[in-house]
Structure 1
Amino acid sequence: MGGVLVSVHVVAVLAVVLAAALVGRTAARAVRQPEVIGEILAGLLIVPAVAAVAGHGALAGLLPPDVLDVLKHIGKIGLVLFLVGVAHELRRGSGSLGSRTVGWVTLGSFVPALLSGLVFAAWVLWSDDEALRGGAPALSLVLMIAVALSVTAVPVLARILEDRDLMAGRNGKLSMAAAVFTDSTAWLLLVVALGTASGGWGGVVRSVVVLAIGVALALLGRVLLRGRTSNTLAARFPRLMSVVVAVVALALAIEMENWGLTAVFGAFIVGLSMPNGEDAHLWEGITRPVASLGRLFVPVFFVVAGMGLFSTPTAELPWVAAVLATVLAIAGKVGGSYLGARLGGESRRDSITIGVMMNTRGLTEIVVLQAGYSAGLLSAGLFLALVIMTLITTGLTGPLLSLIDLRARRTAPRPVLEPQGGTQ
């Protein structure tokens, strides 16, 4: 009977979380922000809001340990399934441009942002604030913060570009291509950071070996899935193949966690194994339902993250760290991408537009931060400061793009009108 009550309790909590996510998405659309901003805020704030209204005792009753454990699993499952689609989209966007400009924009968007992360990490270590510093090894913490300030969220950027009809334009293509390469490098550095935390340099070697095996599996899967038999099965039984993809992704995610890596790498292995080329449309139809199902339950992931943040008292919110992280993140991404685009031959307006686009962090950043938080690399206060930075930088993308367009219209030369009537 206890199991039945727990199940009913979980379903009730899920209904509340999904309703809150819907409200968050609606509110975000109303103010022309990406929907994920509303979902993140709704997920992170629902737990403190309930505690503030009903008290700590009521919160413990609403989210007892057995229910919270189930929610953690549901949130992780949703995240893994959603990232299968993200990884497939990374492959799809990576082959659109191969020009010299892409290289400059990628370098500009990654290297200065990485250096900004190193500056912020040095400040965290120098401040000697134990609540902010946490207990992570210095090298692991520095790498984790550097990665956090280097990320550009491909899914959120893609959604912003689609909403503004910029995906087919040159700036949109350059931004997406650079974001693909930037995030791929950031994920590799995240492996190193997690590896140094879990077992020193021996952990790094183990993580890199496991990652190499994962890449080999992705390449092997890509070859196998291009075969005629696989394409026939995908065309005839798309729902069954979607189930198979989801099960394999979850199994690999569990295995990656057993090897000391984050579960998201299992999702990336499966997503990267999906064929691109002429079979891309077929396999996109397979991965889309998987990603959509995961997207439905991603807000649960934010609620669990909010439970972790609830341990940080409101009076101790690290506002100085949040402000400094935000300033450095914007300077590194916007400034670096602008410089890279200019070196690549782009105009000033296009360069600043690309810089603003690359400053989008969104869900990808939250996933990276949660991985570092779960591994003990980030303290609750530092995690919260970087979450605030994520929300601000992502939220600025839309308004800044609108401001650039408005300024361009105001400074555009007006057409010369011919006098009516002509000359007699």
Structure 2
Amino acid sequence: MDSMATAADMKLATLFAGIAVVLLTGVLFGRIAQSLRQPIVIGEIAAGIVLGPSLLGLLPGDPSGLLFPAEVRPLLSAVSQVGLVLFMFMVGWEFEKRLIKPHVGMAAGISLSSVALAFGLGALSAVVLYDGHDTVNGEHISFTAFATFMGAAMSVTAFPVLARILSDHRLSDTRVGTLALASAAIDDVLAWCMLAYVSALVTSGGDPGDLFMIAIRGVVYVALMFLVVRPLLDAITWRFAGKERWRALLVVLCAGALLSAWATTWIGIHAIFGAFLFGFVTPREPAHLLVEHIRRPLEQISLILLPVFFIVTGLGVDIGGLTGTRYLELALILAVACSGKLLGSVIPARLSGLPWREAGTLGLLMNTRGLTELVILNAAVSLGVLDGQMFTMMVIMALFTTALAGPLLPRGPALEALRSRPEPAKT
């Protein structure tokens, strides 16, 4: 009994040590990323890859395996999933319809065009990639699920990372900045809907009857969220705010996000969809009080938990395992990812009257995938849609497309010219 307790204690101690290394490495790489004009998240994702088999695992004695042994990885995964659910709740909560309303026509046109072209090219690339990745952990994956996922993965734009890039370059209040944010917001909603479909498709095993039941339960769930949960949350929020019971409200919202994630998992849709929708229906008023007492504490929690998500992602990335043929597939994935979002954004932007410089900048911004892409990729792994090599290539694509924006965005007089074009007047 004592030896079992000691083994359990050492298992937890190893988990604590691993998380400590993750946090410190994430801070270091985040600072390096900032010095290279990159978002912090780029450094944190890179830290996860470095600590995994791609680099640390290649050293003598396999330090990666010692830090993150097989028996500890399920615990790491559980911690990362809590962080992921809370992050998705924040993404849904921070989704602002007011971003879209002032220029809904142009934003919708740009978003739908970029999503349609990226999705189409992604699904088309699946024709080439499918035969080499149609089996995951001994289970055969349907072409429909694989192709739909590839389309969804190519379509996404990382709204949180995009907002940070715009802030760092002081483009948030410019015409191109607000259009990018509005278009990315629409992109993300479409991407989550596509992921929900893939999740339902995989869970049902392609059976039309099961898929229909998942769809029915999903519609009922969404209706309950808007018709019952939303007004209930509004009443609770104002009641707790009036009595300054912020800790209780924080607990209620976190519990609600976790329960909503459980509900969508039970329905047959991935947990992140439930967390996102719960955030979407959560009230945003009184704004200044909620930001100070709820959002900021949740952001601090994410600072601790999200790096664990990055290391769990990094442990699944094995760059050394890619062969010559896989590098050709990676080149195809990068070409499809960049061309779909760039052309799909630049062409409608030009047709809407934006100059080439603004249209090109918009295309670069819409091509950033960052953390949102990792969320989708990890969901695909948990659903059994991606094998290890495809996961590695898609993570590299997410890093590459996000890192492009920093060095390629206009500088000097060209950047000042963009800043001189303010956000269009709201209607």
Distance 1:320 1:202 in 2: 39
Contact 2:22 2:308 in 1 (8 A): yes
Residue in 1 that maps onto 2:280: 272
1:359 pairs with one of 363, 367, 370? 367
Q: Judging changes above 3 Å, is the alpha-carbon distance between structure 1 residues 409 and 281 closer, same or farther for their aligned structure 2 residues?
A: closer
Give the AA of the match of 2:20: A
1:294-340 alpha-carbon deviations (Å, 9 max, x no partner): 24211211222222334972546821121111111111101110111
Q: 2:58 — aligned with what?
A: 52
After TM superposition, the structure 1 = structure 2 runs for residues 201-280 of structure 1, keeping only pairs within 5 Å, are 201-219=208-226, 220-227=228-235, 230-235=237-242, 236-276=244-284, 278-280=285-287
Tell me which amino acid in the other structure corresponds to 2:297: P
The one of 79, 83, 101 equivalent to 2:84 is 79
* Match among 385, 388, 396 for residue 380 of structure 1: 388
- 8 A contact 1:94–1:181 mirrored in 2: no
| Counterpart code for 2:88 | L
How far apart are the structure 1 equivalents of 2:218 and 2:324? 38
Give 1:398 shift.
1.6
Give 2:422's aligned residue: none
Question: Structure 1 pair 43/207, CA: closer, same or farther in 2 (3 Å)?
Answer: farther
Structure 2: where are the runs of 5+ without partners?
418-427
Supply the distance in 2 between the matched residues of 1:55 and 1:260 (Cα, whole angstroms).
42
Deviations along 1:320-373, one digit per CA (max 9) or x if unpaired, are 121111111111101110111122222222211111111110000010011112
Q: State the TM-score, normalized to the length of structure 1.
A: 0.88
Report if aligned partners of 2:134, 2:141 keep a CA contact under 8 Å in 1: no
Please say if residues 96 and 173 of structure 1, whose CA atoms lie closer than 8 Å, have aligned partners that are also in contact. Answer: no
| Change in 2 beyond 3 A, CA 1:8/1:95 | same
1:16 Cα deviation from its structure 2 partner: 0.6
Task: Show the counterpart of 1:390.
Answer: 398
> Which amino acid in the other structure matches residue 213 of structure 1?
V
1:177 match: 182
Q: How well do the aligned residues superpose, as a CA RMSD in angstroms?
A: 2.5
Q: Following superposition of structure 1 onto structure 2, how do residues 276-295 of structure 1 map, counting pairs within 5 Å?
A: 276=284, 278-285=285-292, 286-295=294-303
Instruction: Indicate whether 1:329 and 2:337 are aligned.
Output: yes
Which shifted more, 314-323 or 187-196? 314-323
Instruction: Give distance in 1, aligned partners of 2:213 and 2:303.
Output: 31
Question: Which residue is equivalent to 2:423?
Answer: none
Q: Distance in 2 between matches of 1:305 and 1:319?
A: 20
Offset at residue 150 of structure 1 (A): 0.2
Separation in 2 of the partners of 1:317 and 1:33?
30
Question: Higher Cα Rg: structure 1 or 2?
Answer: 1
Give the aligned partner of residue 152 of structure 1. 157
106-115 vs 328-337, which moves further? 106-115
Residue aligning to 1:136: 141
**2-side partners of 1:319 and 1:110: how far apart?**
25
1:185 aligns to what SS in structure 2? helix
Q: Which moved more, 1:143-152 or 1:45-54?
A: 45-54
The match for 2:105 among 96, 100, 103 is: 100
Which residue of 2 is the match for residue 9 of structure 1? 14
Distance in structure 1 (CA, Å) of the matches to 2:114 and 2:64: 42
Given the superposition, is the C-alpha separation of residues 97 and 211 from structure 1 closer, same or farther in structure 2, using an over 3 Å criterion?
farther
Distance 1:44 1:203 in 2: 37
Deviation at 1:407, TM superposition (A): 5.1
Distance across 2 between alignment mates of 1:377 and 1:345: 40
CA distance in 2, matches of 1:257, 1:113: 28
Q: What is the alpha-carbon distance in structure 1 between the residues aligned to residue 164 and residue 325 of structure 2?
A: 31
Per-residue CA shift, 1:86-115, capped at 9, x if unaligned?
111123554442442122212222111111
Letter in 2 for 1:232: R
The 10-residue stretch of structure 1 (393-402 or 357-366) with the greater mean CA deviation from structure 2: 393-402
Q: Which whole-Å CA distance do the structure 2 matches of 1:10 and 1:210 have between them? A: 38
Distance of 1:59 and 1:317 partners within structure 2 = 27
Q: CA–CA distance in 2 between the matches of 1:179 and 1:253?
A: 23
Partners of 1:117 and 1:145 within 8 A in 2: yes
Instruction: State the Cα distance separating 1:409 from its structure 2 match.
Output: 7.2
| CA contact 1:105–1:344 (8 Å) conserved in 2 | no
| Identity, % of aligned positions | 33
Q: CA deviation at 1:279?
A: 3.1
**How many residues get paired?**
405
Tell which deviates more after alignment, 6-15 or 229-238: 229-238
Structure 1 stretch displaced more, 5-14 or 301-310 = 301-310
Secondary structure in 1 matching 2:155? coil
Distance 1:218 1:283, change over 3 A: farther
Partner AA of 2:70 in structure 1: P
Within the alignment, does 1:25 sit opposite 2:33 as a pair? Answer: no
| TM-score where L is the length of structure 2 | 0.87
Tell me, what secondary structure is at the counterpart of 2:141? coil
For 2:94, the aligned partner's letter is E
Report what 1:422 is aligned to.
Answer: none
Provide the residue aligned with 1:90 in structure 2. 95
1:341–1:298 distance in 2 versus 1, CA, 3 Å: same
For the 8 Å contact 1:6–1:67, the answer to whether it is kept is yes
The runs of 5 or more residues in structure 1 that have no matched partner are 411-424
Structure 2 residue 314 is the aligned partner of structure 1 residue 306 = yes
Amino acid at match of 2:222: V
Preserved CA contact (<8 Å) 1:312 1:381: no
The answer to which of 40-49 and 306-315 deviates more is: 306-315
User: In structure 1, what residue type is equivalent to 2:74?
Assistant: D
171-180 vs 133-142, greater mean Cα deviation: 133-142
Q: Secondary structure at the match of 1:402?
A: coil
CA offset at residue 43 of structure 1? 0.8
Q: In the superposition, relative to structure 1, how do residues 311 and 112 fare at CA in structure 2: closer, same or farther (>3 Å)?
A: closer
